[in-house]
Amino acid sequence: MTNSRDQQRRTLALLDATPAWHRLCAVRDDLDDTVAAAILDSAGRFSDDVIGPLNIAADRVGCTVAGGRVRVPEGYHAAWRGYADGGWIGIDLPEDRGGSGLPVVLQAAAAQIFDRGGIAFNMATGASRSGAVLLAEHAPDDIAADWVPALISGARTATICISEPGAGSDVGRIRTVAALTDGGWRVTGDKIWISFGDHDLTPMIGHCLLARTSDAPGTRGLSLFLVPSAQPDGHSNGVSLLRIEDKMGLHGSPTCALHFDRAEATLIGKTGHGLSQLFTMIELMRLQTGCQGLGIASLSCDVAIAFAQDRVQGGPSDAAPVPIASHPDVQRQLRWMRGQTEILRAAVLELATQMDLARSGDVTAAAYTAWLLPLIKTFGAETASAVANAGLQVLGGAGYTADWPLEQAVRDARVLAIYEGTTGMQAIDFLDRRLIRDRGGLDAFMAQSGDITGAGATVLAHFAALAETLRACPDATRRLWAADAWLRAGWLALTVVLAPRVAISDPDAAHAALAQIVERFAVHDAAVRDALR
């Protein structure tokens, strides 16, 4: 199995090519390339030595239920302790809460290395880190003081609880109820699709949960609660495991259905504002999806390249067979895989640095962050699936077997396009909110593209013109027909802007990413214009 060294090198090179990274370093005396290199080196060693070796075994063994509780695969407990003791959960949380106070971009740069080792284990770490950020920002002071350090230290974990049997993407149909009694808030209802909703890594789990507190229609009646899985004395808090899902991939991550029976809960923020407050957590988990996709794509590239260099087939019949890496079509596939992966790497770093600038109060960066999020979430998922599938193709029959990690990568990657908002939901968000309601993100993006020339400039000019055509269309239904094509056009436009950064250290990858981009953009351009007629 290959290690993460090349991934670290490529990440550092692209970080150096990211303008917002240098803006961050200019205003912080504790931040520079040396700090970034040290963090990635440490992350790489933990991923290669601890997470990676667990990944295949955890996939084959999976999670089990005993005595009404989930039992995680062997080795997870030591890995969890090492991850928490290494400070990785709180790397970007405030130092006064027990965190390291470093920027989001370094958290994301490390996370994609951990995800290369295996995303199943990291499903627990991502939710706990995002939950800690949520509670630090929105929870009452006493709750934040109790929970945030406990999450950062790994003494407790967190989940996000949104979906129900009758309410998935249509969050307004949530029927879980929170009632205010003399003893405080009590939550009753069922929640599904909860990653690490139950486990034996920690004695207490904090469920960040949406529940209905009024009869106001849709999402206006929803409020956000923290629901501990247990009482302080260790007794149950009315939270019980209904089942864990038997699913296609992520076997090492228990996806749970839970029942809440008058569970004691703490209101986070104001009643009726639950969904908007929960977006603090959702946005970080969408960035996490991009990191997960990048981790899977990076692994797939490395495995396919190593295999192609070692596997011998073909050549003159009167001579020894040659490595398949020398065959033109295999070279084409490997270049394409690397090109897609490195554009995603640049995009993840761009988003994370913009999130850091937004945290400091930069309004333009906040708008650009909102514009980038649906793109990175969607194409983190699609790049992972496409590159893993392409890598499996390079390996041929070997790739289809469990002897190589790519068949697991294909299975694990598939859910990325589903959770944290399906591709269709991201397309609607990108079109309706980021392009029609708020022009700030598009303006911020176009400002990044001033020095693009040639075919890339043509794509960007068409992209800007397309936005004006979209806003001029009064028919909302027709606009929605164009949502998916518009999302894909947006990713191609972002690719044009990011490719020069990739080209600094890997011209071949940049060239592969840009190949036929004008023709590909024209397909989506035509689809949008056809829908808007």
The DSSP secondary structure of 353-401, one letter per residue, reads HHHHHHHTT-HHHHHHHHHHHHHHHHHHHHHHHHHHHHHHHHHGGGGGS
**Is the pLDDT confidence value at 135 over 70?**
yes
User: pLDDT grade, residue 316 (50/70/90)?
Assistant: confident
Up-side HSE of residue 407: CA atoms within 13 Å toward CB? Answer: 13
Backbone angles phi, psi at 262, to 5 degrees: 50, 45
- pLDDT tens, position by position, 464-512: 888 887 777 777 777 788 889 999 999 999 999 999 999 999 999 999 9
Look up residue 523 and give its two tokens: 């397909």
State mean pLDDT over 164-183: 92
Per the DSSP assignment, residues forming a β-bridge with 65 are 70
> What is the Cα–Cα distance from 373 to 351, expressed in whole angstroms?
7
The string of pLDDT tens digits covering residues 94-113 is 999 999 999 999 999 999 99
pLDDT at position 481 is: 81
Cα separation, 3 vs 279, whole angstroms: 35
Catalytic one among 95, 407, 420, 468?
Answer: 420
Q: What is the pLDDT of residues 274-301, one digit of tens each?
A: 999 999 999 999 999 999 999 999 999 9
pLDDT value of residue 526: 86
Average pLDDT over residues 7-18: 97
Q: What is the DSSP letter of 301?
A: H
Mean pLDDT of 189-213: 97
pLDDT reported for residue 83:
98
Contact 110, 43 (CB under 8 A): yes
420 carries an active-site annotation: yes
Question: Who has greater pLDDT, 22 or 525?
Answer: 22
Phi and psi, residue 264, nearest 5°: -65, 135
Which pTM was predicted?
Answer: 0.96
Q: What mean pLDDT is reported for the chain? A: 94
CATH topology match: 5-157 vs 158-272: no
Predicted local confidence at residue 238, as pLDDT = 97
Given a cut of 70, whether residue 1 has pLDDT beyond it is no
Average pLDDT, integer, range 64-70: 96
Residues 343 and 373: their CA atoms lie apart, in Å, by 15
Parse the chain into domains and list their residue ranges: 5-157, 158-272, 425-533
Place domain 5-157 in its CATH homologous superfamily. Answer: Acyl-CoA dehydrogenase/oxidase, N-terminal domain (1.10.540.10)
Average pLDDT over residues 161-169: 93
Please report which confidence band the pLDDT of residue 531 belongs to, taking 50, 70 and 90 as the band edges.
confident
| Between 462 and 85, the higher pLDDT residue | 85
* CATH class of the domain at 158-272: mainly beta
pLDDT of residue 130: 96
Instruction: Please write down the long-range contacts of 234-241, taking CB distance under 8 Å and 24 or more positions apart.
Output: 234/203, 237/263, 237/264, 238/186, 238/262, 238/263, 238/264, 239/207, 239/263, 240/68, 241/65, 241/68, 241/69, 241/70, 241/197, 241/198
pLDDT digit string, tens, across residues 330-362: 999 999 999 999 999 999 999 999 999 999 999
pLDDT at 467: 82
Nearest to 337 by CA among 309, 298, 307: 298
